[in-house]
Chains A and B, each alone.
Chain A
Amino acid sequence: MRRALIAALVAAVVGCAVVTAAQQAVVVPLILKAETFEDAAPKAEPQAHSHAPGTPADHHHDADAWSPADGIERIAFTALANLGVSLGFALLLVAGFTLAGREVDGQKGLLWGAAGFACFTLAPTLGLPPELPGSVAAAVGPRQVWWFGTALATGVGLALIVFGRHVALKILGVAAIVIPHVVGAPHPPAGEAGGVPPELAAQFAVLSLAVAALFWGVLGWVSGTVWRKAS
């Protein structure tokens, strides 16, 4: 337990530092740019973030609610949130190490990181591409449910394929990975478009996937390396 916590903590701190730097360099500038389009769009509803007209919104953001001031405060809170996300993902990784009960080092950790990327980035974004502020999407609740269900199904599926001893288990694993995409992610009504230029959205999608891949690589490698050293 002690080495799991140490490995998760060290990996989370390093992962957070790397992902925060990479985000601020290439991803956050696109978010800020998208917000200028969002702000320029006609205000259909008094919200901090506009749900485009006609988009079902099951929760409303209170425009008066506190939010960090642009600049250093906003960057600091993004870094803090990144630390929370990094800790969450790192703990899930070492939970995987613990459950699998096999030796893990830096190289094996990198494979675990790749699996994390597949579960928590690649599979969910196949149905719900990375979104810039101001893009049109279905209600957030069902999207979160689909996102989480897809990550879980992909994780279970990968575990069955990698660790399953019988071929039937491996086939079941493939099915678990495919099923969420057959069910399909919640999408907004056809024909609705947001105010964000498609070029910007495409750039954001690719760059955020690249940053996530870097993050998962670092998280997996560091947690595996520390896991090995702390044994």
Chain B
Amino acid sequence: MSRIAAHASAGLADLSGRLGQAGLLALVGLAFLFITGFAGADVLHNAAHDARHAFAFPCH
């Protein structure tokens, strides 16, 4: 019984570890996407203009 409990808690710890890592990776990824693809500042828009159009992001 205790072995099952230990197994389950190890599984849970594994899942929460994976969730934390994946969340962090996704957050940094979304930050990159936002700055290059979506941020409204003119300078960012102009620099990334052709890339935004080519990736079919809503541009202007």
Chain A residues in contact with chain B, CB under 8 A? 1, 4, 8, 19, 23, 27-28, 31, 48-49, 51, 57, 59, 61-62, 65-68, 74, 77-78, 80-82, 84-85, 87-92, 94-96, 98-99, 101, 121, 124-125, 128-133, 137, 140, 143-144, 147-148, 208-209, 211-212
Contact = CB atoms under 8 A, between A and B. Distances in A.
A211 B25 CA distance: 25
Nearest to A65: B42
B1 interface: no
Contact of A140 (B48, B53, B55, B58): B58
Interface residues of B, number: 39
B33 interface: yes
Contact of B56 (A51, A80, A87, A208): A208
B22 A99 contact: yes
B56 A81 contact: no
B54 interface: yes
A78 B37 CA distance: 11
Contacts of B33: 84-85, 88-89, 92
Interface string B7-50: 00000001100110111011011111111111010110111111
Contacts, number: 147
Interface of A is mostly: helix
A147 B34 CA distance: 12
B22 A98 contact: yes
Contacts of B53: 27, 31, 130-133, 208
Contacts of B52: 81
Contacts of B36: 81, 84-85, 88
Nearest to B59: A131
A62 B25 CA distance: 34
B25 A144 contact: no
A9 to B, nearest CB: 12
A128 B31 CA distance: 22
Given A27-B53, A132-B53, 11 more contacts: A57-B60, A59-B40, A74-B50, A78-B50, A85-B32, A88-B30, A88-B32, A95-B26, A140-B40, A144-B57, A147-B58
Top 3 closest A-B pairs, CB basis?
A91-B29, A84-B36, A67-B46
A100 to B, nearest CB: 9
